[in-house]
A and B are shown apart, each in its own frame.
Chain A
């Protein structure tokens, strides 16, 4: 009866998709172009992207500000060590550890997501600290001395670097796609509604708890994937290097500087963080001071982050999750008169 058309993409989004695919292919070709060193840095970039995109999904969309996502990051790395120690191929272990992260996310969601903002934030940190303590008790880990993913030595250095990179690309693509598809699904509009106004979302029938739990589990899984990848890329596992609070600071930095509540924001936040780290990471403490200064500067000048400035200046959504509705009015011309 009604001639409704719904458009869910635009030239902007097609160009963005093209750019993302091109960037992915370029990264995939890196082992042939740039060798082992380049691959390692590329994995770092992808890990940052995963962390930023997932933390943004959690805080920006579901309104769940967690300062303890290191729970999933660290446990997945630890699980990779354990699985590999049990004789499982380290790359397979990375994938299995991600699934363990998903399971941990599911179990955690049962009692964490219904907590209020402050309790949730601190509660996640407590869980992460607890997991850190438990991991330190494992004799295999030898406390903070740590251990290594020695099973990787079965692969020669080039193969190992290339496989890690491709796995990182696959993970990033899968989790980005999962998040975008989720936000475009019928649940997605509910998630975005919660982002904008949780009370109003309840008023129009959105099951806020259930919706938040879906996002929480996805974010947990993506963060776990990042942790397992970080281990596979760096081989050594020292608990502090995975459960450390610096990761939380990085996630906050990337998302706030990039733009809370937009996938594009988290993406460019991660890229910016990567660039800053590459250029200034060697300066140690001063580098951290500089990061803090950049964050403060952004909070003052661009409170909605980089994407809050760029996004509205584009002709369409770069990563489209919305609906453009149009009604064909073909008849009106000759009916009236």
Chain B
């Protein structure tokens, strides 16, 4: 018998006005997976993530977390059920310090409110490498640290699943290696990961499974090597270059 998924999307569709962005996308993500999502710009990846977290209401379809239907729940409630995310364009609380940013997440985002949020927030910062700038205003951070802050806040909510939206862009090789190591750490701590990324190398190094989206649908799903080699993926993703 197959284990039940940590996160389940069931026939999710989304339209902005008459413009259909997602067409009945279904996906089961199982505990311990690192699922990479690739796809050309405009494929609907971020929109898919917004439907999973409740930032948008789907036109049709349902979302389940740990077997519970959360489709009717608001983003904050889903966060407390265990779905955390990073934003493709970082959204720091600019007037607050890095530490305060993470503290807000530790206090509000945890399903289980026991534990000391101050200590937890600090632990997360040490883990993600931001402890050194804990007292800096988040608005003064560079892009790289803003992305790390996104990840730190997500982790501070004590998630079961983390949805990452292009947090690897613009990294040097060394930074990218550190990020991959960090993501693996997080997974080892029992957190399931869904990672939208353009940088193929990061996904192939890290992922246990890969998905390709194009034109609002999943066009391939399988082991990273197989997905990259699939003809449909090559035409959709690499386009004329393939």
A interface residues, Cβ below 8 angstroms from B: 2, 4, 6, 186, 189-190, 192-193, 195-197, 199-208, 261, 322-327
Cβ-closest 4 pairs across A and B: A205-B109, A200-B91, A204-B105, A196-B93
A193–B93 touching, CB < 8 Å: yes
A203–B79 touching, CB < 8 Å: yes
Residues of A within 8 A of B131 (CB): 327
Residues of B within 8 A of A199 (CB): 55, 87, 91
- Nearest chain-B residue to A192 (Cβ)? B96
Residues of A within 8 A of B104 (CB): 189-190, 192-193, 201, 204, 206
A261–B91 touching, CB < 8 Å: no
A2-B122, A199-B55, A206-B104 known; A189+B96 contact, CB < 8 A: yes
B134–A197 touching, CB < 8 Å: no
A324 to B171, CA, bound (A): 29
A189–B87 touching, CB < 8 Å: no
- Nearest chain-B residue to A205 (Cβ)? B109
- Nearest chain-A residue to B97 (Cβ)? A322
B94 near A: Cβ within 8 Å? Answer: yes
- Nearest chain-B residue to A326 (Cβ)? B135
A197 to B105, CA, bound (A): 13
- Which residues of B64-119 are within 8 A (CB) of A? 74-76, 79-80, 84-85, 87, 91-97, 99-101, 103-105, 107-110, 117-119
User: Can you list 10 A-B contacts (CB < 8 A)?
Assistant: A6-B118, A192-B95, A192-B104, A196-B95, A201-B93, A202-B76, A203-B55, A206-B104, A206-B108, A323-B118
A193-B93, A193-B96, A324-B135 known; A203+B118 contact, CB < 8 A: no
User: Of A4, A192, A205, A206, which contacts B100 at CB under 8 A?
Assistant: A192
Residues of A within 8 A of B93 (CB): 192-193, 196-197, 200-201
A197–B94 touching, CB < 8 Å: yes
User: In the assembled complex, how far is the CB of residue A308 from the closest CB belonging to chain B, in whole angstroms?
Assistant: 11
B14 near A: Cβ within 8 Å? Answer: no
A206–B76 touching, CB < 8 Å: yes
B135–A325 touching, CB < 8 Å: yes
A193 to B108, CA, bound (A): 11
- Nearest chain-A residue to B123 (Cβ)? A2
Which of A190, A323, A326 counts the most chain B CB atoms within 10 A? Answer: A323
- Nearest chain-A residue to B53 (Cβ)? A203
Residues of B within 8 A of A204 (CB): 79, 84, 104-105, 108-109, 153-154, 156-157
Residues of B within 8 A of A201 (CB): 93, 104
A4–B94 touching, CB < 8 Å: no
Residues of B within 8 A of A189 (CB): 96, 100, 103-104, 107
B96–A322 touching, CB < 8 Å: yes
B76–A208 touching, CB < 8 Å: yes
User: In the assembled complex, how far is the CB of residue A186 from the closest CB belonging to chain B, in whole angstroms?
Assistant: 6
B108–A190 touching, CB < 8 Å: yes
